[in-house]
Structure 1
Amino acid sequence: MAAVTIVVVEDEASLRRDMVEYLRGCGFDAVPAKDGRELDDCLAAKAASVVILDVNLPGEDGFKIASRLRETPGIGIIMVTARGSTVDRVVGLEIGADAYLVKPVEMRELEAQVKALLRRLESIAAPPCAPAVTAPAVAGVGASGDEAGWVLDATDWLLTSPVGVRISLTSMEMKLASLLAAQARQPATRDQISMALYGRRWNPDDRSIDTVVGRLRHKIEGAIGGPAPLKSVHGVGYVFSAPVRVV
Protein backbone atom coordinates (compact mmCIF):
# COMPACT_ATOMS: atom_id res chain seq x y z
CA MET A 1 0.00 0.00 0.00
CA ALA A 2 1.48 3.35 -1.03
CA ALA A 3 2.43 5.79 1.70
CA VAL A 4 0.24 8.85 2.19
CA THR A 5 1.81 11.94 0.62
CA ILE A 6 2.17 15.04 2.79
CA VAL A 7 3.71 18.30 1.56
CA VAL A 8 5.46 20.45 4.17
CA VAL A 9 5.54 24.10 3.05
CA GLU A 10 7.93 26.00 5.31
CA ASP A 11 10.57 28.58 4.40
CA GLU A 12 12.66 27.95 7.54
CA ALA A 13 15.03 25.25 6.28
CA SER A 14 15.80 23.60 9.62
CA LEU A 15 12.14 23.32 10.66
CA ARG A 16 11.16 22.09 7.21
CA ARG A 17 13.84 19.42 7.36
CA ASP A 18 12.86 18.34 10.88
CA MET A 19 9.16 17.99 10.01
CA VAL A 20 9.88 16.08 6.79
CA GLU A 21 12.30 13.68 8.51
CA TYR A 22 9.92 13.07 11.40
CA LEU A 23 6.95 12.39 9.14
CA ARG A 24 9.01 10.04 6.98
CA GLY A 25 9.96 8.21 10.18
CA CYS A 26 6.22 7.83 10.85
CA GLY A 27 5.77 6.09 7.49
CA PHE A 28 4.48 9.02 5.44
CA ASP A 29 5.75 10.15 2.04
CA ALA A 30 6.72 13.64 3.23
CA VAL A 31 7.79 16.14 0.56
CA PRO A 32 9.46 19.50 1.32
CA ALA A 33 8.56 22.83 -0.31
CA LYS A 34 9.87 26.27 0.65
CA ASP A 35 7.11 28.34 -0.96
CA GLY A 36 3.91 28.27 -2.99
CA ARG A 37 5.69 27.73 -6.28
CA GLU A 38 7.47 24.60 -5.03
CA LEU A 39 4.17 23.38 -3.55
CA ASP A 40 2.50 23.73 -6.97
CA ASP A 41 5.33 21.73 -8.54
CA CYS A 42 4.90 19.00 -5.92
CA LEU A 43 1.14 18.79 -6.45
CA ALA A 44 1.56 18.72 -10.23
CA ALA A 45 3.88 15.72 -9.88
CA LYS A 46 1.89 13.82 -7.24
CA ALA A 47 -1.45 14.15 -5.47
CA ALA A 48 -1.16 14.92 -1.76
CA SER A 49 -3.57 14.12 1.06
CA VAL A 50 -2.39 16.83 3.46
CA VAL A 51 -0.52 20.11 3.13
CA ILE A 52 1.23 21.53 6.19
CA LEU A 53 1.36 25.24 5.48
CA ASP A 54 3.28 28.01 7.22
CA VAL A 55 1.45 31.33 7.36
CA ASN A 56 4.45 33.60 6.82
CA LEU A 57 5.94 32.56 3.50
CA PRO A 58 7.92 34.62 0.99
CA GLY A 59 5.90 35.79 -2.00
CA GLU A 60 2.45 34.20 -1.80
CA ASP A 61 1.55 33.87 1.89
CA GLY A 62 -0.05 30.87 3.54
CA PHE A 63 -3.52 32.41 3.60
CA LYS A 64 -3.61 32.91 -0.16
CA ILE A 65 -2.26 29.43 -0.77
CA ALA A 66 -4.83 27.89 1.61
CA SER A 67 -7.64 29.78 -0.12
CA ARG A 68 -6.83 28.28 -3.51
CA LEU A 69 -6.10 24.83 -2.05
CA ARG A 70 -9.69 24.83 -0.75
CA GLU A 71 -10.77 24.57 -4.41
CA THR A 72 -9.24 21.06 -4.46
CA PRO A 73 -11.68 18.61 -2.84
CA GLY A 74 -10.33 16.10 -0.35
CA ILE A 75 -7.07 17.82 0.55
CA GLY A 76 -6.43 18.58 4.23
CA ILE A 77 -4.77 21.79 5.41
CA ILE A 78 -2.80 22.18 8.63
CA MET A 79 -1.60 25.75 9.16
CA VAL A 80 1.45 26.70 11.20
CA THR A 81 1.10 30.01 13.05
CA ALA A 82 3.17 32.17 15.36
CA ARG A 83 2.51 31.83 19.09
CA GLY A 84 -0.39 33.96 20.32
CA SER A 85 -1.31 35.25 16.86
CA THR A 86 -5.09 35.65 17.15
CA VAL A 87 -5.26 37.42 13.78
CA ASP A 88 -3.64 34.45 12.04
CA ARG A 89 -6.11 32.05 13.64
CA VAL A 90 -9.16 34.15 12.74
CA VAL A 91 -8.12 34.52 9.10
CA GLY A 92 -7.28 30.83 8.93
CA LEU A 93 -10.72 29.95 10.28
CA GLU A 94 -12.38 32.08 7.65
CA ILE A 95 -10.40 30.35 4.92
CA GLY A 96 -11.19 26.91 6.33
CA ALA A 97 -7.98 25.40 7.70
CA ASP A 98 -8.59 21.97 9.23
CA ALA A 99 -6.14 22.30 12.11
CA TYR A 100 -3.39 24.49 13.56
CA LEU A 101 0.11 24.05 14.87
CA VAL A 102 1.83 26.74 16.92
CA LYS A 103 5.57 27.38 16.68
CA PRO A 104 7.76 25.95 18.07
CA VAL A 105 6.24 22.82 16.56
CA GLU A 106 6.04 19.74 18.78
CA MET A 107 6.68 16.75 16.53
CA ARG A 108 4.37 14.39 18.43
CA GLU A 109 1.57 16.95 18.11
CA LEU A 110 2.36 17.21 14.39
CA GLU A 111 2.00 13.44 14.05
CA ALA A 112 -1.25 13.41 16.05
CA GLN A 113 -2.79 16.25 14.00
CA VAL A 114 -1.88 14.58 10.72
CA LYS A 115 -3.29 11.20 11.74
CA ALA A 116 -6.51 12.74 13.11
CA LEU A 117 -7.00 14.75 9.92
CA LEU A 118 -6.41 11.69 7.72
CA ARG A 119 -9.01 9.72 9.69
CA ARG A 120 -11.54 12.49 9.13
CA LEU A 121 -10.77 12.71 5.42
CA GLU A 122 -11.16 8.93 5.08
CA SER A 123 -14.49 9.05 6.93
CA ILE A 124 -15.80 11.73 4.58
CA ALA A 125 -14.69 9.78 1.50
CA ALA A 126 -16.32 6.55 2.72
CA PRO A 127 -19.90 5.75 1.66
CA PRO A 128 -22.41 7.20 4.13
CA CYS A 129 -23.83 4.86 6.76
CA ALA A 130 -27.50 3.99 6.70
CA PRO A 131 -29.49 6.41 8.86
CA ALA A 132 -30.01 5.19 12.39
CA VAL A 133 -33.50 4.53 13.67
CA THR A 134 -34.68 7.68 15.40
CA ALA A 135 -35.43 7.31 19.10
CA PRO A 136 -38.77 8.55 20.43
CA ALA A 137 -38.90 12.30 20.86
CA VAL A 138 -38.07 13.71 24.29
CA ALA A 139 -41.05 15.24 26.03
CA GLY A 140 -41.58 18.75 24.71
CA VAL A 141 -39.17 18.22 21.85
CA GLY A 142 -40.33 17.68 18.31
CA ALA A 143 -38.99 14.93 16.06
CA SER A 144 -37.91 17.27 13.28
CA GLY A 145 -34.45 17.00 11.67
CA ASP A 146 -33.11 19.64 14.06
CA GLU A 147 -34.43 17.95 17.21
CA ALA A 148 -34.19 14.19 16.68
CA GLY A 149 -30.65 13.59 17.91
CA TRP A 150 -27.19 14.51 16.64
CA VAL A 151 -23.93 12.57 17.17
CA LEU A 152 -20.51 14.14 17.74
CA ASP A 153 -17.55 11.85 17.02
CA ALA A 154 -14.68 13.03 19.23
CA THR A 155 -12.13 10.78 17.50
CA ASP A 156 -12.77 11.61 13.86
CA TRP A 157 -14.09 15.16 14.42
CA LEU A 158 -17.42 14.47 12.71
CA LEU A 159 -20.86 15.84 13.49
CA THR A 160 -23.63 13.59 12.18
CA SER A 161 -27.19 14.83 11.70
CA PRO A 162 -30.25 12.77 12.73
CA VAL A 163 -30.66 11.55 9.14
CA GLY A 164 -27.02 10.51 8.72
CA VAL A 165 -25.42 13.56 7.08
CA ARG A 166 -21.78 13.71 8.22
CA ILE A 167 -20.07 17.06 8.66
CA SER A 168 -16.28 17.28 9.03
CA LEU A 169 -15.10 19.75 11.68
CA THR A 170 -11.91 21.75 12.01
CA SER A 171 -10.03 21.71 15.31
CA MET A 172 -11.69 24.93 16.51
CA GLU A 173 -15.14 23.77 15.41
CA MET A 174 -14.60 20.50 17.26
CA LYS A 175 -13.65 22.34 20.46
CA LEU A 176 -16.76 24.50 20.17
CA ALA A 177 -19.06 21.56 19.41
CA SER A 178 -17.62 19.54 22.31
CA LEU A 179 -18.26 22.38 24.75
CA LEU A 180 -21.82 22.94 23.55
CA ALA A 181 -22.56 19.19 23.61
CA ALA A 182 -21.34 19.01 27.22
CA GLN A 183 -23.71 21.83 28.17
CA ALA A 184 -26.75 19.56 27.66
CA ARG A 185 -28.71 22.18 25.67
CA GLN A 186 -27.87 24.94 28.14
CA PRO A 187 -26.11 28.04 26.74
CA ALA A 188 -22.35 28.35 27.03
CA THR A 189 -21.12 31.81 27.94
CA ARG A 190 -18.62 33.68 25.81
CA ASP A 191 -16.09 33.29 28.62
CA GLN A 192 -16.55 29.52 28.56
CA ILE A 193 -16.20 29.42 24.78
CA SER A 194 -13.10 31.63 24.80
CA MET A 195 -11.46 29.43 27.44
CA ALA A 196 -12.29 26.28 25.45
CA LEU A 197 -10.98 27.68 22.16
CA TYR A 198 -8.06 29.85 23.22
CA GLY A 199 -7.39 29.22 26.92
CA ARG A 200 -8.15 32.81 27.92
CA ARG A 201 -11.02 34.99 29.14
CA TRP A 202 -13.26 36.60 26.54
CA ASN A 203 -12.32 40.05 25.27
CA PRO A 204 -15.39 41.97 23.95
CA ASP A 205 -13.21 43.46 21.18
CA ASP A 206 -12.25 39.98 19.91
CA ARG A 207 -14.65 38.73 17.23
CA SER A 208 -12.94 35.35 16.73
CA ILE A 209 -15.68 33.47 18.63
CA ASP A 210 -18.31 34.81 16.23
CA THR A 211 -16.12 33.73 13.32
CA VAL A 212 -15.92 30.15 14.59
CA VAL A 213 -19.64 29.99 15.39
CA GLY A 214 -20.64 31.55 12.08
CA ARG A 215 -18.47 29.18 10.09
CA LEU A 216 -19.81 26.11 11.92
CA ARG A 217 -23.41 27.28 11.50
CA HIS A 218 -22.87 27.93 7.79
CA LYS A 219 -21.22 24.51 7.36
CA ILE A 220 -24.10 22.70 9.10
CA GLU A 221 -26.77 24.57 7.14
CA GLY A 222 -25.00 23.92 3.86
CA ALA A 223 -24.82 20.21 4.65
CA ILE A 224 -28.38 19.64 5.86
CA GLY A 225 -30.15 22.23 3.72
CA GLY A 226 -31.93 23.85 6.65
CA PRO A 227 -31.41 25.86 9.83
CA ALA A 228 -28.65 24.72 12.18
CA PRO A 229 -29.48 24.02 15.85
CA LEU A 230 -26.70 26.44 16.81
CA LYS A 231 -28.42 29.42 18.36
CA SER A 232 -27.31 32.75 19.81
CA VAL A 233 -28.53 33.52 23.34
CA HIS A 234 -28.60 37.30 23.76
CA GLY A 235 -26.33 38.55 26.52
CA VAL A 236 -25.02 35.06 27.27
CA GLY A 237 -23.41 33.17 24.40
CA TYR A 238 -24.43 30.21 22.25
CA VAL A 239 -26.33 26.94 22.61
CA PHE A 240 -26.72 23.75 20.58
CA SER A 241 -30.49 23.53 20.86
CA ALA A 242 -30.99 19.91 19.71
CA PRO A 243 -30.12 16.68 21.57
CA VAL A 244 -26.53 15.64 20.84
CA ARG A 245 -24.44 12.80 22.20
CA VAL A 246 -20.66 12.41 22.09
CA VAL A 247 -19.10 9.11 21.01
Structure 2
Amino acid sequence: MAAPTIVVVEDENSLRSDMIEYLANCGFDAVGARNGIELDRILGERTASVVILDVNLPDEDGFKIAARLRDTQGAGIIMVTARSSTVDRVVGLEIGADAYLVKPVELRELEAQVKSLLRRLSERAAETPSPLPPAASAETQGADGGDEARWTLDPTEWSLTSPAGARISLTSMEMKLTSLLAGQARKPATRDQISQALYSRRWNPEDRSIDTVVGRLRHKVEGAIGGTAPLKSVHGVGYVFSAPIRVLGGP
Protein backbone atom coordinates (compact mmCIF):
# COMPACT_ATOMS: atom_id res chain seq x y z
CA MET A 1 0.00 0.00 0.00
CA ALA A 2 1.42 3.37 -1.04
CA ALA A 3 2.34 5.83 1.68
CA PRO A 4 0.01 8.83 2.04
CA THR A 5 1.22 11.91 0.18
CA ILE A 6 1.76 14.94 2.41
CA VAL A 7 2.41 18.29 0.73
CA VAL A 8 4.21 20.93 2.80
CA VAL A 9 3.52 24.44 1.48
CA GLU A 10 6.05 26.73 3.16
CA ASP A 11 8.18 29.52 1.67
CA GLU A 12 10.88 29.29 4.33
CA ASN A 13 13.33 26.83 2.78
CA SER A 14 14.92 25.48 5.97
CA LEU A 15 11.61 24.90 7.72
CA ARG A 16 10.11 23.27 4.64
CA SER A 17 13.12 20.94 4.35
CA ASP A 18 12.97 20.04 8.04
CA MET A 19 9.26 19.20 7.88
CA ILE A 20 9.64 17.15 4.69
CA GLU A 21 12.60 15.20 6.10
CA TYR A 22 10.82 14.50 9.39
CA LEU A 23 7.59 13.36 7.74
CA ALA A 24 9.51 11.21 5.26
CA ASN A 25 11.26 9.52 8.20
CA CYS A 26 7.80 8.85 9.65
CA GLY A 27 6.96 6.86 6.54
CA PHE A 28 5.02 9.43 4.54
CA ASP A 29 5.50 10.45 0.92
CA ALA A 30 6.37 14.06 1.78
CA VAL A 31 6.91 16.72 -0.89
CA GLY A 32 7.32 20.48 -0.71
CA ALA A 33 5.98 23.58 -2.40
CA ARG A 34 7.00 27.21 -1.92
CA ASN A 35 3.68 28.74 -2.94
CA GLY A 36 0.22 28.10 -4.35
CA ILE A 37 1.49 27.77 -7.92
CA GLU A 38 3.87 24.95 -7.00
CA LEU A 39 1.14 23.31 -4.93
CA ASP A 40 -1.23 23.34 -7.91
CA ARG A 41 1.45 21.73 -10.06
CA ILE A 42 1.94 18.95 -7.52
CA LEU A 43 -1.79 18.37 -7.15
CA GLY A 44 -2.05 18.13 -10.93
CA GLU A 45 0.38 15.21 -10.86
CA ARG A 46 -0.68 13.32 -7.75
CA THR A 47 -3.40 13.14 -5.10
CA ALA A 48 -2.50 14.56 -1.71
CA SER A 49 -3.88 13.09 1.50
CA VAL A 50 -2.94 16.10 3.63
CA VAL A 51 -1.76 19.62 2.79
CA ILE A 52 0.27 21.40 5.48
CA LEU A 53 -0.26 25.03 4.61
CA ASP A 54 1.60 28.10 5.83
CA VAL A 55 -0.68 31.13 6.15
CA ASN A 56 1.86 33.81 5.28
CA LEU A 57 2.80 32.91 1.70
CA PRO A 58 3.84 35.17 -1.18
CA ASP A 59 1.28 36.06 -3.87
CA GLU A 60 -1.64 33.96 -2.60
CA ASP A 61 -1.99 33.62 1.18
CA GLY A 62 -2.80 30.39 2.95
CA PHE A 63 -6.38 31.36 3.74
CA LYS A 64 -7.22 31.80 0.06
CA ILE A 65 -5.47 28.57 -0.87
CA ALA A 66 -7.31 26.68 1.90
CA ALA A 67 -10.65 28.00 0.71
CA ARG A 68 -10.18 26.78 -2.85
CA LEU A 69 -8.68 23.47 -1.69
CA ARG A 70 -11.77 22.83 0.37
CA ASP A 71 -13.94 23.48 -2.68
CA THR A 72 -11.96 21.32 -5.10
CA GLN A 73 -9.86 18.79 -3.18
CA GLY A 74 -10.56 16.05 -0.67
CA ALA A 75 -7.28 16.54 1.16
CA GLY A 76 -7.08 17.30 4.84
CA ILE A 77 -5.74 20.76 5.67
CA ILE A 78 -3.38 21.65 8.52
CA MET A 79 -2.61 25.37 8.69
CA VAL A 80 0.68 26.58 10.15
CA THR A 81 1.47 30.21 10.93
CA ALA A 82 3.55 32.52 13.06
CA ARG A 83 0.34 34.37 13.89
CA SER A 84 -1.17 33.41 17.23
CA SER A 85 -4.25 35.62 17.33
CA THR A 86 -7.64 34.06 17.92
CA VAL A 87 -9.03 35.84 14.85
CA ASP A 88 -6.53 34.15 12.52
CA ARG A 89 -7.25 30.77 14.07
CA VAL A 90 -11.01 31.28 13.72
CA VAL A 91 -10.66 32.34 10.08
CA GLY A 92 -8.63 29.24 9.29
CA LEU A 93 -11.12 26.90 10.92
CA GLU A 94 -14.10 28.65 9.32
CA ILE A 95 -12.54 28.19 5.89
CA GLY A 96 -12.46 24.48 6.59
CA ALA A 97 -8.99 23.73 7.97
CA ASP A 98 -8.92 20.52 9.99
CA ALA A 99 -6.18 21.67 12.37
CA TYR A 100 -4.21 24.81 13.12
CA LEU A 101 -0.66 24.97 14.50
CA VAL A 102 1.34 28.02 15.57
CA LYS A 103 5.06 28.37 14.87
CA PRO A 104 7.51 27.32 16.13
CA VAL A 105 5.96 23.94 15.40
CA GLU A 106 7.02 20.92 17.43
CA LEU A 107 7.61 18.26 14.79
CA ARG A 108 6.28 15.48 17.00
CA GLU A 109 3.07 17.44 17.41
CA LEU A 110 2.89 17.88 13.64
CA GLU A 111 3.33 14.12 13.20
CA ALA A 112 0.54 13.47 15.69
CA GLN A 113 -1.79 15.91 13.94
CA VAL A 114 -1.09 14.32 10.54
CA LYS A 115 -1.72 10.81 11.81
CA SER A 116 -4.89 11.85 13.63
CA LEU A 117 -6.20 13.64 10.55
CA LEU A 118 -5.39 10.71 8.26
CA ARG A 119 -7.28 8.40 10.60
CA ARG A 120 -10.33 10.66 10.56
CA LEU A 121 -10.18 11.00 6.77
CA SER A 122 -9.93 7.23 6.40
CA GLU A 123 -12.99 6.75 8.60
CA ARG A 124 -14.86 9.37 6.62
CA ALA A 125 -14.00 7.67 3.32
CA ALA A 126 -15.19 4.33 4.69
CA GLU A 127 -18.62 5.73 5.43
CA THR A 128 -20.91 4.29 2.77
CA PRO A 129 -24.36 4.48 4.34
CA SER A 130 -27.24 2.82 2.50
CA PRO A 131 -30.41 4.83 3.17
CA LEU A 132 -33.30 2.67 4.30
CA PRO A 133 -36.67 2.85 2.56
CA PRO A 134 -38.75 5.74 3.95
CA ALA A 135 -41.15 3.42 5.77
CA ALA A 136 -38.35 1.73 7.67
CA SER A 137 -35.78 4.49 7.87
CA ALA A 138 -34.58 5.32 11.36
CA GLU A 139 -34.23 8.93 10.18
CA THR A 140 -37.99 9.18 9.71
CA GLN A 141 -39.19 6.94 12.54
CA GLY A 142 -41.36 8.92 14.93
CA ALA A 143 -43.31 8.44 18.09
CA ASP A 144 -45.71 5.99 16.42
CA GLY A 145 -42.82 3.53 16.08
CA GLY A 146 -41.97 3.59 19.78
CA ASP A 147 -38.90 5.39 21.12
CA GLU A 148 -37.88 8.13 18.74
CA ALA A 149 -34.63 7.40 16.95
CA ARG A 150 -31.62 9.31 18.22
CA TRP A 151 -28.56 10.83 16.66
CA THR A 152 -25.28 10.30 18.52
CA LEU A 153 -22.50 12.83 19.08
CA ASP A 154 -19.05 11.49 20.01
CA PRO A 155 -16.87 14.25 21.55
CA THR A 156 -13.81 11.99 21.55
CA GLU A 157 -13.86 11.11 17.85
CA TRP A 158 -15.45 14.42 16.73
CA SER A 159 -18.21 12.57 14.93
CA LEU A 160 -21.98 12.67 14.53
CA THR A 161 -23.87 9.45 13.77
CA SER A 162 -27.39 9.35 12.37
CA PRO A 163 -30.01 6.89 13.64
CA ALA A 164 -29.45 4.83 10.47
CA GLY A 165 -25.71 4.57 11.17
CA ALA A 166 -24.26 7.22 8.83
CA ARG A 167 -21.15 8.58 10.58
CA ILE A 168 -20.09 12.16 9.87
CA SER A 169 -16.64 13.44 10.86
CA LEU A 170 -16.68 16.98 12.25
CA THR A 171 -14.20 19.84 12.24
CA SER A 172 -13.43 21.75 15.43
CA MET A 173 -16.03 24.44 14.69
CA GLU A 174 -18.68 21.90 13.67
CA MET A 175 -18.05 19.96 16.87
CA LYS A 176 -18.47 23.06 19.04
CA LEU A 177 -21.68 23.99 17.23
CA THR A 178 -23.19 20.51 17.45
CA SER A 179 -22.25 20.18 21.13
CA LEU A 180 -24.03 23.43 21.90
CA LEU A 181 -27.16 22.47 19.97
CA ALA A 182 -27.18 18.99 21.52
CA GLY A 183 -27.17 20.55 24.97
CA GLN A 184 -30.22 22.64 24.13
CA ALA A 185 -32.56 19.60 24.17
CA ARG A 186 -34.22 20.56 20.83
CA LYS A 187 -34.62 24.19 21.87
CA PRO A 188 -33.11 26.94 19.69
CA ALA A 189 -29.68 28.33 20.52
CA THR A 190 -29.45 32.07 19.98
CA ARG A 191 -26.87 33.52 17.64
CA ASP A 192 -25.21 35.13 20.65
CA GLN A 193 -24.92 31.73 22.37
CA ILE A 194 -23.44 30.24 19.20
CA SER A 195 -20.99 33.12 18.78
CA GLN A 196 -19.83 32.73 22.37
CA ALA A 197 -19.41 28.96 21.93
CA LEU A 198 -17.49 29.23 18.64
CA TYR A 199 -15.51 32.44 19.01
CA SER A 200 -15.80 33.52 22.69
CA ARG A 201 -17.32 36.82 21.64
CA ARG A 202 -20.76 38.41 21.34
CA TRP A 203 -22.56 38.11 18.04
CA ASN A 204 -22.18 40.92 15.52
CA PRO A 205 -25.26 41.15 13.23
CA GLU A 206 -22.94 41.97 10.31
CA ASP A 207 -20.89 38.82 10.86
CA ARG A 208 -22.00 35.92 8.64
CA SER A 209 -19.45 33.41 9.93
CA ILE A 210 -22.05 31.48 11.95
CA ASP A 211 -24.13 30.91 8.82
CA THR A 212 -21.01 29.66 7.03
CA VAL A 213 -20.32 27.05 9.71
CA VAL A 214 -23.97 25.99 9.85
CA GLY A 215 -24.22 25.78 6.07
CA ARG A 216 -21.11 23.63 5.79
CA LEU A 217 -22.34 21.28 8.52
CA ARG A 218 -25.81 21.01 6.99
CA HIS A 219 -24.34 20.22 3.58
CA LYS A 220 -22.06 17.55 5.08
CA VAL A 221 -24.92 15.90 7.01
CA GLU A 222 -27.30 15.90 4.06
CA GLY A 223 -24.64 14.39 1.83
CA ALA A 224 -24.14 11.57 4.33
CA ILE A 225 -27.78 10.71 5.01
CA GLY A 226 -29.25 11.46 1.59
CA GLY A 227 -32.00 13.58 3.10
CA THR A 228 -32.77 16.78 5.01
CA ALA A 229 -30.56 17.56 7.99
CA PRO A 230 -32.29 18.22 11.33
CA LEU A 231 -30.37 21.49 11.57
CA LYS A 232 -32.98 24.20 11.32
CA SER A 233 -32.94 27.98 11.28
CA VAL A 234 -35.29 29.68 13.73
CA HIS A 235 -36.16 33.13 12.40
CA GLY A 236 -35.08 35.93 14.69
CA VAL A 237 -33.45 33.54 17.17
CA GLY A 238 -30.74 31.23 15.84
CA TYR A 239 -30.53 27.52 15.11
CA VAL A 240 -31.87 24.26 16.53
CA PHE A 241 -31.04 20.58 16.13
CA SER A 242 -34.61 19.40 15.75
CA ALA A 243 -34.06 15.65 16.25
CA PRO A 244 -33.24 13.80 19.50
CA ILE A 245 -29.49 13.59 20.02
CA ARG A 246 -27.39 11.78 22.61
CA VAL A 247 -23.88 12.85 23.60
CA LEU A 248 -21.58 9.92 24.38
CA GLY A 249 -20.18 10.19 27.87
CA GLY A 250 -22.99 12.53 28.86
CA PRO A 251 -25.95 11.92 31.16
**Structure 2 CA distance for partners of 1:154 and 1:25, relative to 1, 3 Å:** farther
**Aligned AA for 1:230?**
L
**What CA distance in whole angstroms lies between the structure 2 residues aligned with 1:65 and 1:20?**
20
Structure 1 contact 116–156 (Cα < 8 Å) conserved: no
1:97 maps onto 2:103 in alignment: no
Q: Name the counterpart of 1:50.
A: 50
Q: Name the counterpart of 1:78.
A: 78
Q: Name the counterpart of 1:32.
A: 32
How far off is 1:130 after superposition?
6.9
Structure 2 contact 4–49 (Cα < 8 Å) conserved: yes
**What CA distance in whole angstroms lies between the structure 2 residues aligned with 1:142 and 1:16?**
60
Structure 1 contact 158–169 (Cα < 8 Å) conserved: yes
**What CA distance in whole angstroms lies between the structure 1 residues aligned with 2:226 and 2:232?**
16
Q: CA RMSD, aligned part only?
A: 3.6
**Aligned AA for 1:194?**
S
**Aligned AA for 1:6?**
I
**Structure 2 CA distance for partners of 1:19 and 1:175, relative to 1, 3 Å:** farther
- Per-residue displacement from partner, 1:160-204 (whole Å, max 9, x unpaired)? 222233333222112222332244334444454334323x23242
How far off is 1:73 after superposition?
5.0
**What CA distance in whole angstroms lies between the structure 1 residues aligned with 2:149 and 2:75?**
32
1:174 maps onto 2:175 in alignment: yes
Structure 1 contact 51–75 (Cα < 8 Å) conserved: yes
- Per-residue displacement from partner, 1:11-68 (whole Å, max 9, x unpaired)? 1334434433443454433222211232234334543211111233212333443344
**Structure 2 CA distance for partners of 1:16 and 1:112, relative to 1, 3 Å:** same
TM-score of the superposition, structure 1-length normalised? 0.75
Q: Name the counterpart of 2:195.
A: 194
**What CA distance in whole angstroms lies between the structure 1 residues aligned with 2:186 and 2:154?**
18
Q: Which runs of 5+ in 1 are unaligned?
A: none
Percent of aligned pairs with the same amino acid: 70
Structure 2 contact 93–99 (Cα < 8 Å) conserved: no
Structure 2 contact 192–202 (Cα < 8 Å) conserved: yes
How far off is 1:209 after superposition?
2.3
**Structure 2 CA distance for partners of 1:220 and 1:109, relative to 1, 3 Å:** same
Structure 1 contact 190–237 (Cα < 8 Å) conserved: yes
- Please give the residue correspondences for 1:69-218 in structure 2 after superposition, counting only pairs within 5 Å: 69-70=69-70, 72=72, 74-81=74-81, 82-84=83-85, 86=87, 89-90=90-91, 93-94=94-95, 96-126=96-126, 128=128, 134=138, 141=143, 148-198=149-199, 200-204=200-204, 205-218=206-219
